[in-house]
Chains A and B, each alone.
Chain A
Amino acid sequence: MWRDTVLVAGKDLRIELRSRVVMHQVVPVGVLVLVLFAFALGPDRAPMAKAAPGLFWVAVLFASVLAVQRSFAVEASDGARDGLRLSGLDPAGVFLGKSAAVAVQLVVLEVVLTAGVVVLYGSHIRSYGSIIVAGLAGTAGLAAAGTLYGALAAGLRVRETLLPFLFLPVAAPVLLAGTRAWQVALGTAGNVGNVGSAGSAGDPWVRLLLVFAAVYLALGVVIFGPLQEAS
Protein backbone atom coordinates (compact mmCIF):
# COMPACT_ATOMS: atom_id res chain seq x y z
CA MET A 1 0.00 0.00 0.00
CA TRP A 2 2.72 2.50 0.89
CA ARG A 3 4.55 1.86 -2.32
CA ASP A 4 1.40 2.61 -4.28
CA THR A 5 0.91 5.72 -2.18
CA VAL A 6 4.31 7.06 -3.13
CA LEU A 7 3.74 6.10 -6.75
CA VAL A 8 0.43 7.94 -7.04
CA ALA A 9 1.57 10.94 -5.02
CA GLY A 10 4.65 11.18 -7.19
CA LYS A 11 2.59 11.04 -10.35
CA ASP A 12 0.20 13.75 -9.21
CA LEU A 13 2.98 16.03 -8.03
CA ARG A 14 4.93 15.54 -11.21
CA ILE A 15 1.86 16.51 -13.22
CA GLU A 16 1.55 19.60 -11.08
CA LEU A 17 5.21 20.47 -11.50
CA ARG A 18 4.86 20.29 -15.24
CA SER A 19 1.51 22.02 -15.60
CA ARG A 20 1.73 24.35 -12.63
CA VAL A 21 -2.03 24.72 -12.47
CA VAL A 22 -2.19 24.91 -8.70
CA MET A 23 0.66 27.35 -8.42
CA HIS A 24 -0.64 29.61 -11.11
CA GLN A 25 -4.35 29.40 -10.53
CA VAL A 26 -5.26 28.06 -7.12
CA VAL A 27 -2.73 29.93 -5.02
CA PRO A 28 -3.61 33.25 -6.64
CA VAL A 29 -7.28 32.57 -5.89
CA GLY A 30 -6.36 32.10 -2.25
CA VAL A 31 -4.48 35.38 -2.17
CA LEU A 32 -7.33 37.01 -4.03
CA VAL A 33 -9.73 35.90 -1.32
CA LEU A 34 -7.55 37.61 1.26
CA VAL A 35 -7.51 40.77 -0.82
CA LEU A 36 -11.27 40.68 -1.30
CA PHE A 37 -11.79 40.32 2.41
CA ALA A 38 -9.69 43.45 2.83
CA PHE A 39 -12.13 45.26 0.58
CA ALA A 40 -14.95 43.97 2.72
CA LEU A 41 -13.44 44.73 6.11
CA GLY A 42 -11.02 47.57 5.50
CA PRO A 43 -9.51 50.05 5.11
CA ASP A 44 -8.67 50.08 8.79
CA ARG A 45 -6.35 47.16 9.56
CA ALA A 46 -7.64 46.46 13.06
CA PRO A 47 -10.74 44.43 12.10
CA MET A 48 -8.68 42.57 9.53
CA ALA A 49 -6.01 41.63 12.02
CA LYS A 50 -8.66 40.43 14.41
CA ALA A 51 -10.37 38.35 11.75
CA ALA A 52 -7.12 37.18 10.17
CA PRO A 53 -7.13 33.61 11.55
CA GLY A 54 -10.63 32.93 10.31
CA LEU A 55 -10.02 34.57 6.96
CA PHE A 56 -6.88 32.53 6.46
CA TRP A 57 -8.72 29.28 6.98
CA VAL A 58 -11.69 30.31 4.85
CA ALA A 59 -9.30 31.05 2.01
CA VAL A 60 -7.63 27.67 2.55
CA LEU A 61 -10.99 25.91 2.51
CA PHE A 62 -12.07 27.43 -0.77
CA ALA A 63 -8.70 26.77 -2.33
CA SER A 64 -8.81 23.16 -1.17
CA VAL A 65 -12.03 22.64 -3.12
CA LEU A 66 -10.20 23.80 -6.23
CA ALA A 67 -7.16 21.68 -5.45
CA VAL A 68 -9.27 18.56 -5.04
CA GLN A 69 -11.18 19.24 -8.23
CA ARG A 70 -7.89 19.63 -10.04
CA SER A 71 -6.59 16.40 -8.51
CA PHE A 72 -9.40 14.47 -10.14
CA ALA A 73 -9.61 16.52 -13.30
CA VAL A 74 -6.14 15.32 -14.32
CA GLU A 75 -7.57 11.86 -14.68
CA ALA A 76 -10.80 12.82 -16.36
CA SER A 77 -9.54 12.52 -19.90
CA ASP A 78 -8.49 9.49 -21.94
CA GLY A 79 -10.07 7.04 -19.57
CA ALA A 80 -7.32 7.58 -17.04
CA ARG A 81 -9.73 6.96 -14.19
CA ASP A 82 -10.55 3.52 -15.47
CA GLY A 83 -6.88 2.95 -16.09
CA LEU A 84 -6.12 3.75 -12.50
CA ARG A 85 -8.84 1.45 -11.29
CA LEU A 86 -7.73 -1.46 -13.43
CA SER A 87 -4.05 -0.95 -12.81
CA GLY A 88 -4.05 -3.22 -9.78
CA LEU A 89 -2.87 -0.49 -7.46
CA ASP A 90 -4.17 -0.77 -3.93
CA PRO A 91 -7.14 1.63 -3.67
CA ALA A 92 -6.05 2.65 -0.20
CA GLY A 93 -2.68 3.54 -1.65
CA VAL A 94 -4.31 5.55 -4.42
CA PHE A 95 -6.34 7.41 -1.82
CA LEU A 96 -3.37 8.20 0.38
CA GLY A 97 -1.26 9.13 -2.60
CA LYS A 98 -3.78 11.57 -3.98
CA SER A 99 -4.43 13.00 -0.51
CA ALA A 100 -0.72 13.45 0.01
CA ALA A 101 -0.35 15.28 -3.28
CA VAL A 102 -3.26 17.57 -2.45
CA ALA A 103 -1.83 18.13 1.02
CA VAL A 104 1.55 19.15 -0.36
CA GLN A 105 -0.10 21.62 -2.69
CA LEU A 106 -2.17 23.01 0.16
CA VAL A 107 0.89 23.44 2.34
CA VAL A 108 2.52 25.52 -0.37
CA LEU A 109 -0.66 27.58 -0.55
CA GLU A 110 -0.70 28.03 3.19
CA VAL A 111 2.86 29.29 3.31
CA VAL A 112 1.95 31.92 0.74
CA LEU A 113 -1.26 32.83 2.56
CA THR A 114 0.54 33.09 5.90
CA ALA A 115 2.91 35.57 4.36
CA GLY A 116 -0.11 37.30 2.86
CA VAL A 117 -1.83 37.60 6.20
CA VAL A 118 1.26 39.02 7.85
CA VAL A 119 1.82 41.52 5.10
CA LEU A 120 -1.74 42.51 4.23
CA TYR A 121 -3.37 42.39 7.64
CA GLY A 122 -0.44 43.21 9.86
CA SER A 123 -0.66 40.07 11.95
CA HIS A 124 2.19 39.14 14.27
CA ILE A 125 3.03 35.50 14.69
CA ARG A 126 3.86 34.69 18.29
CA SER A 127 4.33 30.97 18.06
CA TYR A 128 5.62 29.49 14.85
CA GLY A 129 5.43 25.99 16.29
CA SER A 130 1.67 26.04 16.78
CA ILE A 131 1.09 27.58 13.37
CA ILE A 132 3.05 24.82 11.70
CA VAL A 133 1.48 21.97 13.63
CA ALA A 134 -2.04 23.32 13.31
CA GLY A 135 -1.49 23.96 9.63
CA LEU A 136 -0.22 20.47 8.95
CA ALA A 137 -2.93 18.75 10.95
CA GLY A 138 -5.68 20.82 9.38
CA THR A 139 -4.26 20.31 5.91
CA ALA A 140 -4.10 16.56 6.35
CA GLY A 141 -7.76 16.48 7.34
CA LEU A 142 -8.86 18.70 4.49
CA ALA A 143 -6.87 16.71 1.96
CA ALA A 144 -8.28 13.40 3.20
CA ALA A 145 -11.91 14.44 3.35
CA GLY A 146 -11.57 16.38 0.10
CA THR A 147 -10.02 13.46 -1.77
CA LEU A 148 -12.75 11.16 -0.55
CA TYR A 149 -15.48 13.45 -1.76
CA GLY A 150 -13.53 14.32 -4.87
CA ALA A 151 -13.52 10.65 -5.83
CA LEU A 152 -17.23 10.49 -5.20
CA ALA A 153 -17.97 13.46 -7.40
CA ALA A 154 -15.40 12.62 -10.09
CA GLY A 155 -16.94 11.71 -13.37
CA LEU A 156 -20.28 13.31 -12.55
CA ARG A 157 -21.30 16.17 -14.73
CA VAL A 158 -22.48 18.18 -11.75
CA ARG A 159 -19.21 17.78 -9.91
CA GLU A 160 -18.26 21.47 -9.91
CA THR A 161 -21.29 22.49 -7.90
CA LEU A 162 -21.73 19.29 -5.96
CA LEU A 163 -18.25 19.04 -4.52
CA PRO A 164 -18.29 22.34 -2.58
CA PHE A 165 -21.77 21.61 -1.31
CA LEU A 166 -20.69 18.22 0.00
CA PHE A 167 -17.22 19.06 1.17
CA LEU A 168 -17.45 22.45 2.85
CA PRO A 169 -19.92 21.47 5.61
CA VAL A 170 -17.76 18.47 6.44
CA ALA A 171 -14.71 20.73 6.59
CA ALA A 172 -16.38 23.12 9.05
CA PRO A 173 -14.69 21.66 12.17
CA VAL A 174 -11.28 22.23 10.56
CA LEU A 175 -12.23 25.85 9.97
CA LEU A 176 -13.35 26.22 13.55
CA ALA A 177 -10.43 24.47 15.21
CA GLY A 178 -7.86 25.92 12.84
CA THR A 179 -9.08 29.43 13.48
CA ARG A 180 -8.97 28.97 17.25
CA ALA A 181 -5.48 27.50 17.09
CA TRP A 182 -4.32 30.39 14.94
CA GLN A 183 -5.92 32.92 17.23
CA VAL A 184 -3.83 31.60 20.05
CA ALA A 185 -0.72 31.58 17.90
CA LEU A 186 -1.35 35.13 16.75
CA GLY A 187 -2.28 36.34 20.18
CA THR A 188 -5.69 37.59 19.08
CA ALA A 189 -7.66 35.10 21.15
CA GLY A 190 -8.84 37.55 23.79
CA ASN A 191 -11.24 35.41 25.75
CA VAL A 192 -9.00 32.49 26.50
CA GLY A 193 -8.96 31.98 30.26
CA ASN A 194 -5.35 31.50 31.25
CA VAL A 195 -2.56 33.38 29.58
CA GLY A 196 -0.14 30.50 29.58
CA SER A 197 2.31 29.76 26.78
CA ALA A 198 0.70 30.15 23.38
CA GLY A 199 1.28 26.46 22.75
CA SER A 200 -0.73 25.08 25.65
CA ALA A 201 -3.85 27.16 25.09
CA GLY A 202 -4.01 26.11 21.44
CA ASP A 203 -3.37 22.45 22.28
CA PRO A 204 -6.95 21.21 22.47
CA TRP A 205 -7.67 22.66 19.06
CA VAL A 206 -4.62 21.11 17.52
CA ARG A 207 -5.68 17.82 19.03
CA LEU A 208 -9.08 18.18 17.43
CA LEU A 209 -7.45 18.84 14.06
CA LEU A 210 -5.36 15.71 14.51
CA VAL A 211 -8.44 13.66 15.40
CA PHE A 212 -10.24 14.97 12.33
CA ALA A 213 -7.30 14.09 10.12
CA ALA A 214 -6.95 10.62 11.63
CA VAL A 215 -10.65 9.89 11.28
CA TYR A 216 -10.86 10.92 7.64
CA LEU A 217 -7.62 9.27 6.64
CA ALA A 218 -8.86 6.03 8.19
CA LEU A 219 -12.29 6.36 6.64
CA GLY A 220 -10.79 7.08 3.23
CA VAL A 221 -8.46 4.10 3.38
CA VAL A 222 -11.36 1.80 4.17
CA ILE A 223 -13.99 3.21 1.85
CA PHE A 224 -12.04 4.35 -1.19
CA GLY A 225 -11.95 0.90 -2.75
CA PRO A 226 -15.70 0.24 -2.61
CA LEU A 227 -16.34 3.80 -3.75
CA GLN A 228 -14.23 3.36 -6.88
CA GLU A 229 -16.58 0.66 -8.06
CA ALA A 230 -19.26 3.27 -8.68
CA SER A 231 -19.19 3.91 -12.39
Chain B
Amino acid sequence: MNPTDTEVTPWSPTATWVVRGLGMAAAVAVAATVWLGLWVTPPDQAQHNLVRLVYVHPPIAWVALYLAFGVAAASSVLWLWPRTRSRFWDRLAVSAVEVGTVFTALTLITGSIWGRPTWGVWWAWDARLTSTALLLVLLLGYLAVRRVPADPDSRARRSAVVALVAAVDVPIVHFSVDWWHTLHQGATVLNANLSPTIHGSMAWTLLLGFVAFTLLFAWMLAIRYRIEVLSERLLDSELDVALHERWAEGTGPVAGEPGGALASTGRRA
Protein backbone atom coordinates (compact mmCIF):
# COMPACT_ATOMS: atom_id res chain seq x y z
CA MET B 1 0.00 0.00 0.00
CA ASN B 2 1.04 3.55 -0.63
CA PRO B 3 2.98 4.90 2.37
CA THR B 4 1.25 8.27 2.20
CA ASP B 5 -2.05 6.52 2.87
CA THR B 6 -1.22 5.86 6.48
CA GLU B 7 -0.19 9.33 7.44
CA VAL B 8 -1.05 12.93 6.81
CA THR B 9 1.99 14.93 5.94
CA PRO B 10 1.74 18.66 5.50
CA TRP B 11 2.37 19.89 1.99
CA SER B 12 5.99 20.16 0.98
CA PRO B 13 7.35 23.71 0.64
CA THR B 14 7.27 23.38 -3.16
CA ALA B 15 3.66 22.28 -3.16
CA THR B 16 2.65 25.07 -0.79
CA TRP B 17 4.47 27.56 -2.94
CA VAL B 18 2.87 26.33 -6.15
CA VAL B 19 -0.63 26.36 -4.76
CA ARG B 20 -0.20 29.75 -3.21
CA GLY B 21 1.15 31.03 -6.51
CA LEU B 22 -1.83 29.56 -8.34
CA GLY B 23 -4.21 31.22 -5.96
CA MET B 24 -2.64 34.62 -6.29
CA ALA B 25 -2.30 34.38 -10.05
CA ALA B 26 -5.94 33.35 -10.27
CA ALA B 27 -7.08 36.26 -8.11
CA VAL B 28 -5.10 38.75 -10.15
CA ALA B 29 -6.20 37.33 -13.48
CA VAL B 30 -9.87 37.26 -12.52
CA ALA B 31 -9.72 40.80 -11.22
CA ALA B 32 -8.04 41.94 -14.42
CA THR B 33 -10.65 40.17 -16.51
CA VAL B 34 -13.45 41.85 -14.63
CA TRP B 35 -11.85 45.27 -14.92
CA LEU B 36 -11.17 44.88 -18.63
CA GLY B 37 -14.46 43.22 -19.29
CA LEU B 38 -16.68 45.66 -17.52
CA TRP B 39 -14.94 48.93 -18.22
CA VAL B 40 -12.05 48.94 -20.63
CA THR B 41 -13.35 46.98 -23.59
CA PRO B 42 -15.83 48.59 -25.98
CA PRO B 43 -19.45 47.53 -26.44
CA ASP B 44 -20.28 45.29 -29.38
CA GLN B 45 -21.95 46.45 -32.60
CA ALA B 46 -24.83 44.04 -32.32
CA GLN B 47 -25.06 43.19 -28.65
CA HIS B 48 -23.87 46.47 -27.12
CA ASN B 49 -22.97 46.02 -23.49
CA LEU B 50 -24.38 42.53 -23.30
CA VAL B 51 -21.31 41.21 -25.03
CA ARG B 52 -19.38 41.78 -21.80
CA LEU B 53 -20.71 38.49 -20.52
CA VAL B 54 -18.58 36.73 -23.13
CA TYR B 55 -15.57 37.27 -20.89
CA VAL B 56 -17.22 35.32 -18.13
CA HIS B 57 -19.73 32.82 -19.50
CA PRO B 58 -17.66 30.92 -22.13
CA PRO B 59 -14.60 30.59 -19.86
CA ILE B 60 -16.75 29.26 -17.02
CA ALA B 61 -18.46 26.91 -19.47
CA TRP B 62 -15.12 25.66 -20.76
CA VAL B 63 -13.93 24.93 -17.23
CA ALA B 64 -17.15 23.16 -16.30
CA LEU B 65 -17.87 21.12 -19.41
CA TYR B 66 -14.41 20.26 -20.63
CA LEU B 67 -11.80 20.83 -17.95
CA ALA B 68 -13.56 19.69 -14.78
CA PHE B 69 -15.64 17.02 -16.43
CA GLY B 70 -12.64 15.80 -18.41
CA VAL B 71 -10.47 15.54 -15.31
CA ALA B 72 -13.26 13.78 -13.42
CA ALA B 73 -13.89 11.26 -16.19
CA ALA B 74 -10.20 10.59 -16.86
CA SER B 75 -9.41 10.19 -13.14
CA SER B 76 -12.30 7.78 -12.76
CA VAL B 77 -11.07 5.65 -15.63
CA LEU B 78 -7.54 5.70 -14.27
CA TRP B 79 -8.81 4.61 -10.90
CA LEU B 80 -10.87 1.77 -12.36
CA TRP B 81 -7.96 0.53 -14.47
CA PRO B 82 -6.15 -1.88 -12.14
CA ARG B 83 -2.71 -1.00 -13.35
CA THR B 84 -3.04 2.71 -12.62
CA ARG B 85 -5.27 2.45 -9.56
CA SER B 86 -4.26 4.77 -6.75
CA ARG B 87 -6.06 6.82 -4.06
CA PHE B 88 -4.79 9.88 -5.91
CA TRP B 89 -7.19 9.37 -8.83
CA ASP B 90 -10.22 8.84 -6.64
CA ARG B 91 -9.50 11.97 -4.64
CA LEU B 92 -8.84 13.94 -7.81
CA ALA B 93 -12.11 12.73 -9.31
CA VAL B 94 -14.26 13.85 -6.40
CA SER B 95 -12.44 17.18 -6.25
CA ALA B 96 -12.97 17.77 -9.96
CA VAL B 97 -16.64 16.83 -9.70
CA GLU B 98 -17.34 19.08 -6.75
CA VAL B 99 -15.60 22.11 -8.21
CA GLY B 100 -17.05 21.24 -11.58
CA THR B 101 -20.56 21.24 -10.15
CA VAL B 102 -20.13 24.82 -8.97
CA PHE B 103 -18.84 25.86 -12.36
CA THR B 104 -21.61 23.99 -14.19
CA ALA B 105 -24.28 25.66 -12.13
CA LEU B 106 -22.68 29.01 -12.88
CA THR B 107 -22.55 28.18 -16.57
CA LEU B 108 -26.31 27.73 -16.54
CA ILE B 109 -26.90 30.86 -14.48
CA THR B 110 -24.66 33.15 -16.53
CA GLY B 111 -26.02 31.62 -19.71
CA SER B 112 -29.55 32.27 -18.56
CA ILE B 113 -28.72 35.84 -17.61
CA TRP B 114 -27.21 36.39 -21.01
CA GLY B 115 -30.11 34.72 -22.74
CA ARG B 116 -32.85 36.75 -21.14
CA PRO B 117 -32.08 40.12 -22.71
CA THR B 118 -30.72 38.55 -25.89
CA TRP B 119 -33.47 36.07 -26.70
CA GLY B 120 -36.18 37.28 -24.39
CA VAL B 121 -36.34 33.99 -22.47
CA TRP B 122 -34.69 32.78 -19.29
CA TRP B 123 -34.33 29.29 -20.70
CA ALA B 124 -34.39 27.47 -24.03
CA TRP B 125 -34.14 23.79 -24.81
CA ASP B 126 -31.29 24.03 -27.25
CA ALA B 127 -28.54 21.41 -27.35
CA ARG B 128 -25.98 23.22 -25.23
CA LEU B 129 -28.23 24.37 -22.42
CA THR B 130 -30.00 21.01 -22.22
CA SER B 131 -26.77 19.00 -22.15
CA THR B 132 -25.33 21.30 -19.53
CA ALA B 133 -28.42 21.02 -17.36
CA LEU B 134 -28.28 17.26 -17.66
CA LEU B 135 -24.59 17.28 -16.80
CA LEU B 136 -25.42 19.19 -13.63
CA VAL B 137 -27.91 16.52 -12.60
CA LEU B 138 -25.39 13.77 -13.35
CA LEU B 139 -22.73 15.53 -11.27
CA LEU B 140 -25.16 15.88 -8.39
CA GLY B 141 -25.83 12.16 -8.74
CA TYR B 142 -22.10 11.52 -8.36
CA LEU B 143 -22.00 13.60 -5.20
CA ALA B 144 -25.06 11.80 -3.86
CA VAL B 145 -23.41 8.41 -4.39
CA ARG B 146 -20.31 9.75 -2.71
CA ARG B 147 -22.29 10.60 0.42
CA VAL B 148 -23.36 7.00 0.97
CA PRO B 149 -21.32 5.59 3.85
CA ALA B 150 -18.94 2.94 2.63
CA ASP B 151 -15.32 1.94 2.78
CA PRO B 152 -13.10 4.03 0.51
CA ASP B 153 -12.67 1.30 -2.06
CA SER B 154 -16.37 0.61 -2.58
CA ARG B 155 -17.17 4.28 -2.58
CA ALA B 156 -14.47 4.92 -5.15
CA ARG B 157 -15.77 2.09 -7.30
CA ARG B 158 -19.34 3.29 -7.33
CA SER B 159 -18.37 6.90 -7.93
CA ALA B 160 -16.06 5.99 -10.77
CA VAL B 161 -18.80 4.02 -12.51
CA VAL B 162 -21.19 6.94 -12.17
CA ALA B 163 -18.58 9.25 -13.68
CA LEU B 164 -17.97 6.85 -16.53
CA VAL B 165 -21.64 6.45 -17.32
CA ALA B 166 -22.03 10.22 -17.27
CA ALA B 167 -19.03 10.69 -19.54
CA VAL B 168 -20.60 8.36 -22.05
CA ASP B 169 -24.06 9.85 -21.74
CA VAL B 170 -23.33 13.53 -22.18
CA PRO B 171 -22.17 13.31 -25.81
CA ILE B 172 -25.20 11.16 -26.65
CA VAL B 173 -27.53 13.69 -25.05
CA HIS B 174 -25.88 16.60 -26.78
CA PHE B 175 -26.07 14.90 -30.13
CA SER B 176 -29.69 13.87 -29.76
CA VAL B 177 -30.89 17.28 -28.61
CA ASP B 178 -28.97 18.94 -31.39
CA TRP B 179 -30.64 16.69 -33.88
CA TRP B 180 -33.97 17.32 -32.29
CA HIS B 181 -33.47 20.96 -33.09
CA THR B 182 -32.16 20.82 -36.61
CA LEU B 183 -35.25 18.86 -37.54
CA HIS B 184 -37.47 21.35 -35.83
CA GLN B 185 -37.50 24.54 -37.89
CA GLY B 186 -38.42 27.07 -35.25
CA ALA B 187 -35.33 26.69 -33.11
CA THR B 188 -32.78 28.12 -35.55
CA VAL B 189 -33.56 31.61 -34.30
CA LEU B 190 -32.12 30.74 -30.92
CA ASN B 191 -28.88 29.41 -32.35
CA ALA B 192 -27.91 32.89 -33.44
CA ASN B 193 -25.91 35.34 -31.50
CA LEU B 194 -23.89 33.89 -28.71
CA SER B 195 -20.68 34.10 -30.71
CA PRO B 196 -20.03 37.74 -31.54
CA THR B 197 -17.09 38.63 -33.75
CA ILE B 198 -14.16 39.26 -31.49
CA HIS B 199 -11.14 41.37 -32.24
CA GLY B 200 -8.58 43.62 -30.64
CA SER B 201 -8.86 44.26 -26.93
CA MET B 202 -11.92 42.07 -26.76
CA ALA B 203 -9.97 39.06 -28.03
CA TRP B 204 -7.20 39.56 -25.51
CA THR B 205 -9.65 39.97 -22.67
CA LEU B 206 -11.43 36.81 -23.72
CA LEU B 207 -8.15 34.93 -23.70
CA LEU B 208 -7.35 36.36 -20.30
CA GLY B 209 -10.76 35.23 -19.11
CA PHE B 210 -10.07 31.65 -20.14
CA VAL B 211 -6.69 31.71 -18.42
CA ALA B 212 -8.07 33.33 -15.28
CA PHE B 213 -10.87 30.85 -14.72
CA THR B 214 -8.61 27.93 -15.55
CA LEU B 215 -6.16 29.09 -12.89
CA LEU B 216 -9.02 29.50 -10.44
CA PHE B 217 -10.19 25.98 -11.18
CA ALA B 218 -6.68 24.61 -10.66
CA TRP B 219 -6.38 26.34 -7.31
CA MET B 220 -9.79 25.15 -6.14
CA LEU B 221 -8.98 21.64 -7.31
CA ALA B 222 -5.77 21.60 -5.26
CA ILE B 223 -7.45 22.86 -2.10
CA ARG B 224 -10.36 20.45 -2.48
CA TYR B 225 -7.89 17.60 -3.00
CA ARG B 226 -6.11 18.48 0.19
CA ILE B 227 -9.45 18.60 2.01
CA GLU B 228 -10.18 15.09 0.75
CA VAL B 229 -6.87 13.74 2.01
CA LEU B 230 -7.32 15.36 5.41
CA SER B 231 -10.91 14.31 5.91
CA GLU B 232 -10.12 10.71 5.05
CA ARG B 233 -7.39 10.63 7.67
CA LEU B 234 -9.54 12.44 10.20
CA LEU B 235 -12.29 9.90 9.77
CA ASP B 236 -9.84 7.11 10.39
CA SER B 237 -8.27 8.68 13.43
CA GLU B 238 -11.62 9.67 14.92
CA LEU B 239 -12.67 6.06 14.57
CA ASP B 240 -9.41 5.06 16.23
CA VAL B 241 -10.03 7.34 19.19
CA ALA B 242 -13.66 6.37 19.58
CA LEU B 243 -12.84 2.68 19.56
CA HIS B 244 -10.09 3.13 22.11
CA GLU B 245 -12.40 5.02 24.40
CA ARG B 246 -14.97 2.28 24.04
CA TRP B 247 -12.49 -0.46 24.88
CA ALA B 248 -11.17 1.53 27.81
CA GLU B 249 -14.71 1.77 29.16
CA GLY B 250 -15.17 -1.96 29.08
CA THR B 251 -11.90 -3.46 30.27
CA GLY B 252 -9.69 -0.77 31.77
CA PRO B 253 -6.42 0.41 30.19
CA VAL B 254 -5.83 -1.46 26.93
CA ALA B 255 -2.41 -2.78 25.94
CA GLY B 256 -1.52 -4.42 22.67
CA GLU B 257 -2.20 -3.64 19.05
CA PRO B 258 -5.84 -3.01 18.16
CA GLY B 259 -4.91 -1.75 14.71
CA GLY B 260 -5.81 -4.95 12.92
CA ALA B 261 -9.31 -5.11 14.38
CA LEU B 262 -10.17 -1.75 12.88
CA ALA B 263 -10.12 -3.11 9.38
CA SER B 264 -13.07 -5.38 9.88
CA THR B 265 -15.19 -3.31 12.24
CA GLY B 266 -14.86 -0.11 10.26
CA ARG B 267 -16.05 -1.47 6.99
CA ARG B 268 -19.84 -1.81 6.88
CA ALA B 269 -21.48 -0.36 3.78
Contacts and interface: CB of A to CB of B under 8 A. Distances in A.
Determine direct contact between A and B, CB below 8 Å.
Answer: yes
Contacts of A226: 80, 157, 161
Given A145-B165, A191-B185, A230-B157, A172 B148 contact: no
B70 interface: no
B157 A176 contact: no
Contact of A223 (B145, B148, B150, B164): B164
A166 B269 CA distance: 19
Interface in B148-202: 148, 150-151, 153-155, 157-158, 161-162, 164-166, 168-169, 172-173, 175-177, 179-180, 183-186
B119 to A, nearest CB: 20
Given A166-B162, A226-B80, A176 B148 contact: no
A148 B161 contact: yes
A204 interface: yes
A19 interface: no
A231 B156 CA distance: 11
A155 B269 CA distance: 8
Q: Chain A contact residues (Cβ within 8 angstroms of B): what range?
A: 20 to 34
Interface stretch (A91-99, A105-113, A208-216): A208-216
Interface residues of B, number: 36
The secondary-structure label for the interface of chain B is helix
Interface of A: 145, 148-149, 152, 155-156, 158, 162, 165-166, 169-170, 172-173, 176-177, 180, 191-193, 204, 208, 211-212, 215-216, 219, 223, 226-227, 229-231
15 contacts: A152-B158, A152-B161, A156-B269, A170-B169, A176-B176, A180-B183, A191-B183, A191-B185, A204-B179, A215-B172, A219-B168, A227-B157, A229-B157, A230-B158, A231-B269
